Amino acid sequence: MELFGVLVATLAAFAAGAAYYGALADPWMTASGIERDAAGKPKGGQTPAMFAIGFLCQLVVCGMMRHVFSLSGIETLGAGVVAGLGIGLFFITPWIALNNLYGMRPRLLTVIDGGYATLACATMGLVLTVF
């Protein structure tokens, strides 16, 4: 049952990312320095492999969150959301900020990507506590 919950939580976070980055595509592409084609889409396109690898990366994070939740006794919806928010905001976002700082990337990129990390982890935390 735990594996099923991890898969569902990962799918939920992945779907949240599709909506989040769909809404913020233009500012994200600008901040990322992504070249665009005539239609405004990323030049060179996006491959299924990109999405598959992204999903697998989120699956690893979600699996570890499940493990930490189990060890910590996090079982309620509220605790799952708060723990997920904390992981996204205080573990993942600072790491993104560090990478972007040394990469001399725009601050807006950190805000957008850190915002998604926080949203995705909160979503995972919510769904994990349902299963």
Residue ranges of domains in the chain = 2-33+46-130
Query: pTM for this structure?
Result: 0.92
Tens digit of each residue's pLDDT (9 = 90 or more) over 46-79: 889 999 999 999 999 999 999 999 999 999 999 9
Q: Compute the distance between CA of residue 9 and CA of residue 125 in angstroms, rounded to an integer.
A: 8
Task: Please state, in angstroms and rounded to a whole number, the distance separating the CA atoms of residues 17 and 119.
Answer: 8
Residue type, 27: P
- For residue 50, the Cα-to-chain-centroid distance in whole angstroms is 14
Cα distance between residue 51 and residue 98, in whole Å:
24
